[in-house]
A and B are shown apart, each in its own frame.
Chain A
Amino acid sequence: MAFPLPRGITPTEIAFLAEMETVTVVPRQRLEGLELLGGPLEPLVPPRRASLPLWLALLLKRQRRANIMPPPWLHPEALSLLLEIESQHQDYKNAFSPPPRLPGQPSVRDYQDGVMPTARPQYTRDGQKYYPAPPFLPQNVAQTTFSPTEVPPLPFHWVEVGNMLLDAASDDLVDPDQVRRLLKDLREVRMAKMRSGVDVMDAAAMGGGGVALTGVGAMEIGEERGFLTGVVDGLRKIGASKEQARREQMAEQRANGGYDGTQDEEEEDYMEF
């Protein structure tokens, strides 16, 4: 093993990716618009809010040239609501709170109606199809309209953005100590859920079944990747001989002619009696 880093990407790299997230700032100084690789930035005029990439916002914040508006989910109330849902709510005992809705893509809530929603692609100026994903979605910008009934969903890069904002801009947040504590609790609850998925993992390794990781953030995936893939791999190896036998049996049945899915089940039922 010449390469010293483990498989997957490190927390620092994930945090680097998260710095592309757009956040809302209130500038304190004028700044002309910048031409960046990711597109032009609007000029900053003091009382007016502007959307900037997180890295630039943090830079300006450190130089005291701007204040960062915290994203809607980074409020103590929103976080404690989320924590309550994650830890108490029956529906979310083994699931994570739903991720924010992606434009043109189905959200978890849609599945409850029984219809399978389909993803709608977006088109570039050249007419090419694409599906936008974080960090190129405004998931962390401050909202002007704030409905008290709906819980703001946790974005993909919630651990990173939350941590970096607490680090650099804690005076812009509402009750930073509380937020810090809630973020930590939330992370622990979700980590425990992810690890409890190990119990049903052999079904995932044998094909069929599995663990839903919908709504899990980038950092959480990065942290558990090594462990979870190791478990799946181990279970796959142990079950390999059984799987082999099952396949051979299926191939045999197919070779004997007239194999279809229903017949297989009937035969098994019969044998049990």
Chain B
Amino acid sequence: MSYYDIDSVLTDAQKLPCTFELEVPGLGVLEGNPGEDIKAGTRIDLPLWLGEMLSIGARLGTSRLVTLDMPEALSERVMNALKADPRTVDLRALAPHFYSLSERILELFEEEDMVDVLSDTFKKRASEIADHAHNSRGAVGDGVDFLRGLDETERQLFRAAHDRAKEMRIWSGEAKRK
């Protein structure tokens, strides 16, 4: 993850539900009322980078400012859906950077089961992606719905596989170079 990696920047901007533990004067701007105070117990969706910073007090031993919750995209409901059939879940609708988000979340929370579910999902979907990518009709066949639901990591995977297959076909003379 590089500093200039646009996907990592966009992952940082994804929202995370946070609950304020303390009253913070003058921070009402986060809630949409500038100038006001934020009361303890307020729930606000904060970007990942901010929520991570504010909750870091917990690690340093001082009282923490906010507690983090699981984002909607990684809720129990979604995990159950992924366990049932990874291929039918529209990850893009949940979070455009689903896997990068879950990597960051897994760094913050200890969720061994979630790691297993996500690895399994990634594998199952990856083989499906490979099948679609090597199909010469590409993204216009019957897999449109599935391919529309790919998150950013999976799109890159699809791109890599598809471009290579296409280059191969061009080299072997099966397809024409545009």
Residues of chain A within 8 A of B165, CB atoms compared: 223
Interface residues on A, range: 20 to 34
* Highest count of chain A CB atoms <10 Å: which of B102, B115, B163: B115
Interface centre among B100, B126, B127, B134 (most CB of A within 10 A): B126
B130 pairs with A227, CB closer than 8 A: yes
Residue of B nearest to A199 (CB): B123
Q: Are A201 and B123 in contact (CB under 8 A)?
A: yes
Residues 9-51 of chain A, each 1 if its beta carbon lies under 8 Å from chain B, else 0: 0111001000000000000000000000000000000000000
Could you tell me if B164 and A223 are in contact, using CB atoms closer than 8 angstroms?
Answer: yes
Q: In the bound complex, do residue A12 and residue B171 qualify as a contact, i.e. CB atoms below 8 Å apart?
A: yes
**Which of under 10, 10 to 19, 20 to 34, or 35 or more describes the interface residues of B?**
20 to 34
Contact B161 A238 (CB under 8 A): no
**What residues of chain A lie closer than 8 Å to B156, measured between beta carbons?**
230
Contacts of B158-178 to chain A: CB distance below 8 A = 160-161, 163-165, 167-168, 170-173
Q: B: which residues have CB within 8 A of A?
A: 99-100, 102-103, 106-107, 110, 112, 115, 118-119, 122-123, 126-127, 130-131, 133-134, 153, 156-157, 160-161, 163-165, 167-168, 170-173
Ranked nearest first, the 4 interchain pairs of A and B with the lowest CB-CB distance are: A226-B160, A11-B171, A227-B161, A241-B106
Interface residues in chain A, defined as those with a beta carbon under 8 Å from any beta carbon in chain B:
6, 10-12, 15, 163, 167, 191, 195-196, 198-199, 201-202, 219, 222-227, 230-231, 234-235, 237-242, 245
